Amino acid sequence: MNAIPMEVSDDRKVTIVIDGEEYDLVFTTRASKAVAAQFGDLEHFGDKILNTEDYGTVVDQNLWLITLLANQGIMIHNLRNREHPKPLLSEEEVELLTSPAELSSFREKIFEAIQKGSKRNIKSEAESSKNAEVG
């Protein structure tokens, strides 16, 4: 039986620092469902976020996304370290522990985490057999 890795691999996460504490932003299947529910669909949600002009809405969206993605990393940690769980973040905590400048810089990290979580390295059987040597 294979052991579950203790940490999320670097190709799935982006690390940010909030108030001196590191948090892994991870875009999981659960997060993708939450984003789709919040923004209507995954395909155009980036446009919706980037084209919002109301500052309060932009801040709320960023807080929600940072909290969602950081909590995915925390929940994965808790799943793998049941004897040493970490508390989940609330949007209110993220709001109090960050500055507007930090929040703005995290936006890039949010999209990077989503890109990593959405990356597809799928090789079809047809492609594999197409390149196989014929003997």
pTM over 0.95: no
Residue 129 included in any domain: no
Looking at residue 58, its amino acid is V
Q: Measured between alpha carbons, how far is residue 26 from residues 8, 14, 64, 78 in Å?
A: 8, 7, 14, 14
pLDDT one-digit tens code per residue, 100-125:
999 889 988 998 999 898 875 434 44
How many residues make up the chain in this entry? Answer: 135
Using left for φ > 0, alpha for ψ between -120 and 50, and beta otherwise, residue 99 falls in: beta
Query: Over its length of 135 residues, how does the chain's per-residue pLDDT go in tens digits?
Result: 455 556 677 788 999 999 999 999 999 999 999 998 888 877 777 777 777 778 888 889 999 999 999 999 999 999 999 999 999 999 999 999 999 999 889 988 998 999 898 875 434 444 444 455 555
Cβ atoms of 74 and 86 within 8 Å: the answer is yes
Residue 58 included in any domain: yes
Q: How many domains does the chain have?
A: 1
Residue 91 included in any domain: yes
Residue 110 included in any domain: yes
Look up the domain containing 87 and give its range: 13-118
What is the structure's pLDDT at 94?
97
